[in-house]
Amino acid sequence: MAMRLLRRLAAAAPACVFPAIGENGAGRVAALASLGRFRFVSTARHAPILLVAGKIRKEDHEDLCRLHDQLPHPRRTLWWGSDPIDGFADPLVVASIDEARDAILDVWRRLVSGEETSEPDLLPDKPAHPWRGKGEHGQGGEGMMGGKPYGRPMAMTGDDLRDGLALDQCTCEYGPLLPILPPD
């Protein structure tokens, strides 16, 4: 009984969608966003629905598959203005804004209610950059520093006055919760 109530409440919430925008897809997504019945999220990890809007280049197919695999289960992909790429077993293609709106709402309701099964992963579960370090435990370069874990160089000592490490700058937005802090 409690699960049915939770599913009904979840189905009444706005559908969470992550748009993957290809060629001529930005206008489609903007028009869909103006309807206000969806919540477009900024990361694929927060949306069970992937909307592929516009034509996706062949060079970007693997990246799209990687993006798809980041969606939480249960998940579904909709294709609007783009041909589905290989690997998607049952592609859901829409042709107009009305079809896209209706399909997103229907898929959201079916995912939340459990009627729709989740799409499987498209890529194998392995690191994009496998570890190839030195040493008997793969610890990396010479001594304490060096090496490239998963293909990313480690921070080395440098002329940074704060802590003596040469690091790249990371920009973070703190949002309305911490307005007294600078935006970056």
- Confidence at residue 79, expressed as pLDDT on a 0 to 100 scale: 92
Q: Which residues of 8-40 are buried (b: 16+ CB within 10 A; e: fewer)?
A: eeeeeeebbbbbbbbeebeebbeebeeeeebee
The answer to the question of residue 101 being in a domain is yes
pLDDT higher than threshold 60 for residue 71: yes
Does 165 fall in a domain?
no
**HEC-encoded secondary structure of 1-64:** CHHHHHHHHHHHCCEEEEEEECECCHHHHHHHHCCCCEEECCCHHHCCEEEEECECCHHHHHHH
Residue 145: its pLDDT value, please?
55
CB distance 76 to 18 below 8 Å? no
Domain presence at residue 147: no
Number of structural domains (the chain) is 1
The amino acid occupying position 19 is P
Q: What pTM, to 2 d.p., does this model score? A: 0.67
pLDDT for the residue numbered 141: 55
pLDDT at 144 over 60: no
Q: Which of 182, 183, 181, 156 is nearest to 168 (CA)?
A: 156
Residue 152: pLDDT band (50, 70, 90) is low
Is 122 a member of any domain?
Answer: no
Is residue 25 within 8 A of residue 54, CB to CB? The reply is yes
For the stretch 17-63, pLDDT in tens is 999 998 888 888 888 888 877 888 888 888 899 999 989 888 889 88
Alpha carbon distance 60, 63 (integer Å): 5
Distance in angstroms (rounded) separating the CA atoms of residues 127 and 29: 31
What percentage of the chain exceeds 90 in pLDDT? 8
Q: How far is CA 58 from CA 42, 82, 83, 86, in A?
A: 24, 12, 11, 11
pLDDT given for residue 87 in this prediction: 81
Expressed as residue numbers, the domain containing 22 is 2-113
What's the CATH code of the domain at 90?
3.40.50.12280
Q: pLDDT tens-digit profile of 76-86?
A: 999 998 888 88
Looking at per-residue confidence, does 168 or 119 come out higher? 119
Residue 102 has pLDDT above 70, yes or no: yes
129 found inside a domain = no
- Kindly report the average pLDDT of the chain as a whole number: 77
Question: What value does the mean pLDDT take over residues 146-171?
Answer: 60
